[in-house]
Amino acid sequence: MIARSARALGLGGIALALAATSMPVAAQDNSEARIRKLESEVRALQRKVFPGADGRYFEPEISAPATTQPATTAAPSTTAVTDILTRLDALESQLQRLTAQYEVGGNAMRLLEERIEALEAANAPAPAPASTTRPAAVTPAATTPAATTPAAERPDPARLAAVQQITKPQTDDPGDDEYSYGFRLWDAGFFPEAQQQLTLFVERYPDHSRATYGRNLLGRAYLDDGKPGDAAPWFLRNYQADKNAARAGDSLLFLAESMIALDDKQRACIALSEFGETYPALATGRLQGQYATARSKVTCN
């Protein structure tokens, strides 16, 4: 609205100035009256946009000269036109300042709203941080099930001392150190501790050269602990990961033993049949005795 009024006033003033260049000296008083009327309208617009009690914001913006220079006979039209253009420039400048003040006020309001939003966000309750604490590599197993007591069970001191006697290797291959430590725990009969340690190894080093050994031994740690249902998935995973891996054949045969322990004879026979066909060298060599024992426990078609 202000911009439109400014353009209208500017165009009207320019037309008035152009007309003044061709009007006779006798008509200059009429032009002066029209300019004063125009200034009065701009002041009214100022008061409407920025009302002030004392008017001190508006009067200095556009004001007529304190004294009016008498027109000379040499160039009367030039003096009138100059005065008109000067006042028109003042009007245009004042309207531009009004528009700028509008924009400043709008920006101030936007910044105030942003500060309020920031304060509200700062006062909002922060979410509880997720726990980043990792369990120790090996925690000695409790001697009684946790469900039987309301508090967390402490490991048996004798078992704790025995587990602490098993040292963890410290070489330049941390992955092999983790696997070897799990093997030592399993070999010592600490199956729950071995399960924990070997799980850490296979999850942290899935592409290590010992990974096939780790997955197979993890299955054995569960199977030897009387948990064939937990052992079977690890044997199957190790076999399917790479059938040519060093312990893939072992895992397939141990999978058959897990199925026998679960009394799932059909799947046990499937695993035994596939083992004999896929790994004939193992069936007649290193794993011959284990293979024969497993076959003797089930009757397969």
Residue pLDDT, tens place only, 245-276: 999 999 999 999 999 999 999 999 999 999 99
Query: Mean pLDDT over all residues of the chain?
Result: 75
38-45 mean pLDDT: 67
With bands split at pLDDT 50, 70 and 90, how would you rate the model's confidence at 150? very low
Least confident of 44-58, 83-97, 191-205, 206-220: 44-58
**pLDDT, tens digit, for every residue of 128-149?**
444 443 444 465 665 444 444 4
What is residue 155's predicted lDDT score, i.e. its pLDDT? 75
Which residues make beta-bridge pairs with 142?
155
**More confidently predicted of 188 and 155:** 188
What is residue 301's predicted lDDT score, i.e. its pLDDT? 83
The H-assigned helical ranges of 124-227 are 157-164, 174-187, 191-204, 211-224
What 115-123 contacts at long range (C-beta under 8 Å, 24+ apart), as own/partner pairs, is none
Report the 3 state secondary structure along 8-77.
Answer: HHHHHHHHHHHHHCCCCHHHHHHHHHHHHHHHHHHHHHHHHHCCCCCCCCCCCCCCCCCCCCCCCCCCHH
Relative orientation angle of helices 228-241 and 211-224, to the nearest 10 degrees: 160
**More confidently predicted of 242 and 125:** 242
Q: Helix, strand, coil shares of the chain as percentages rounded to 5?
A: 65, 0, 35
The dihedral sign for the CA sequence 115, 118, 120, 123 = negative
**Percentage of the chain modeled with pLDDT above 90:** 48
Of 1, 89, 82, 74, the residue nearest 39 (C-alpha): 89
Contact between residue 7 and residue 99 where contact means Cβ atoms under 8 Å apart:
no
User: What is the spatial distance between Cα 217 and Cα 93, in angstroms, rounded to a whole number?
Assistant: 88
Least confident of 47-51, 175-179, 275-279: 47-51
With bands split at pLDDT 50, 70 and 90, how would you rate the model's confidence at 19? very low
With bands split at pLDDT 50, 70 and 90, how would you rate the model's confidence at 40? confident
Give the chain's end-to-end CA distance (angstroms, integer).
96
Most confident residue range from 6-20, 62-76, 141-155, 193-207: 193-207
Relative orientation angle of helices 2-20 and 28-49, to the nearest 10 degrees: 170
| φ, ψ for residue 22, nearest 5 deg | -110, -5
What's this model's pTM, rounded to 2 decimal places? 0.52
Q: How far is CA 267 from CA 11, 65, 121, 247, 273, in A?
A: 96, 110, 59, 20, 10
What is residue 156's predicted lDDT score, i.e. its pLDDT? 86
**More confidently predicted of 58 and 224:** 224
